[in-house]
A and B are shown apart, each in its own frame.
Chain A
Amino acid sequence: MVASDVVPASLLLAAGGETAQGIMTIVVLGIFFLLILIGLFVGKTVEKRHLRSLAQREAVMHGLLTTNLRKIPPDWDVTASWLVTGSVVIASDYFKSFGAKLKNLIGGHLRTLETLLVRARREALLRLQEQARREGADGVMNVRFEFCTIARMSGNQGIPPVEVLAYGTAIKFAAGPVDGSA
């Protein structure tokens, strides 16, 4: 009597455990696909908006002479020079992180990472130019890019945020601003 009471109960428990596990698996998979979808749609919108903003601001900054020359050419009449910087941290979206992880197994051209790096660099450079212009500069010399790793996530969680620091020396001409193409 006692044994027959115990056996069905344990069977029931085991069966209950299995369904619970099944539900858990479905929930985890569901969250995963939801994150992928959010990453795909929101990530794409965010990226598009950023690229549009970059293009607009770059058009405004076009006249600012920006070089990575280490010395000011002797025939330039420069009255002042000072340090300017720009920095940005940009994260990838979940969809791209996942895609990059898959692609990393096969190897080859990681285009998603490329666009992320390009966006970060353009943004950092723009912030540097915006600071230079705000402070009345006519050009920026010796522009350099430095990559940092402060925000890197612990553990292996896809693509870490890209951190770029741009710095250079803003200069002011005695004759005032010149055309960037000159």
Chain B
Amino acid sequence: MILTNLEAVTGKTVKEHLGLVQGSTIRAKHVGRDIMAGLKNIVGGEVKSYTQLLQQARDEATQRMVQQAEQLGANAVVNIRYSTASVMQGAAEILAYGTAVILED
């Protein structure tokens, strides 16, 4: 599966457009992470546990998008975008979306 946030993949032509695919995940922070983050709010600096949370959320959203593309029989997703929405206090959605395509050399 080729993933790109460009509109095309160089050297390959699009044989078929399969339409929009998306994956999302909603994450909430938990108390254990909050304690460390509370300390970080005093001294400043990177909150590693939150960085990790963000990475996991991003990876999961991407993976769900890829799964959907695979179900459609695509071999690439082009023009990928990430977007976030705040659902409620302490929880947020990360959305990955793009266009599933079948590429040909």
Number of A residues with CB within 8 Å of any CB on chain B: 50
Query: How far apart are A175's CB and chain B's nearest CB, in angstroms?
Result: 14
Chain A residues lying within 8 Å of B8, measured Cβ to Cβ, are 71-72
| Contact residues, A13-57 vs B (CB, 8 A) | 35, 38-39, 42-43, 46-47, 50
Check B54–A91 contact: CB distance below 8 A. Answer: no
| Contact residues, B16-66 vs A (CB, 8 A) | 27-29, 37, 40-47, 50-51, 53-55, 57-58, 62
Is A79 in the interface zone, CB < 8 Å from B? yes
Query: How far apart are B12's CB and chain A's nearest CB, in angstroms?
Result: 10
Cα-based distance from A148 to B83 in the complex (angstroms): 8
Check A89–B44 contact: CB distance below 8 A. Answer: no
Check A94–B45 contact: CB distance below 8 A. Answer: no
Chain B residues lying within 8 Å of A46, measured Cβ to Cβ, are 43-45
Check A92–B4 contact: CB distance below 8 A. Answer: no
Check A83–B5 contact: CB distance below 8 A. Answer: yes
Check B3–A83 contact: CB distance below 8 A. Answer: yes
Q: At the interface, is chain B mostly helix, strand, loop or mixed?
A: mixed
Check A38–B42 contact: CB distance below 8 A. Answer: yes
Chain B residues lying within 8 Å of A169, measured Cβ to Cβ, are 4-6
Chain A residues lying within 8 Å of B83, measured Cβ to Cβ, are 146
Cα-based distance from A72 to B45 in the complex (angstroms): 36
Q: Most B CB atoms within 10 A — which of A43, A71, A81, A141?
A: A81
Cα-based distance from A158 to B50 in the complex (angstroms): 18
Check B58–A165 contact: CB distance below 8 A. Answer: yes
A-B contact sample (15 more), CB < 8 A, given A42-B42, A43-B44: A81-B9, A85-B58, A87-B51, A89-B46, A89-B53, A90-B44, A97-B41, A146-B83, A151-B50, A153-B37, A153-B90, A165-B84, A165-B94, A167-B80, A169-B6
Measured CB to CB, the residues of A under 8 A from B are 35, 38-39, 42-43, 46-47, 50, 70-72, 76, 78-79, 81-83, 85, 87-94, 96-97, 123, 141-142, 144, 146-154, 157-158, 161, 163, 165, 167-169, 171
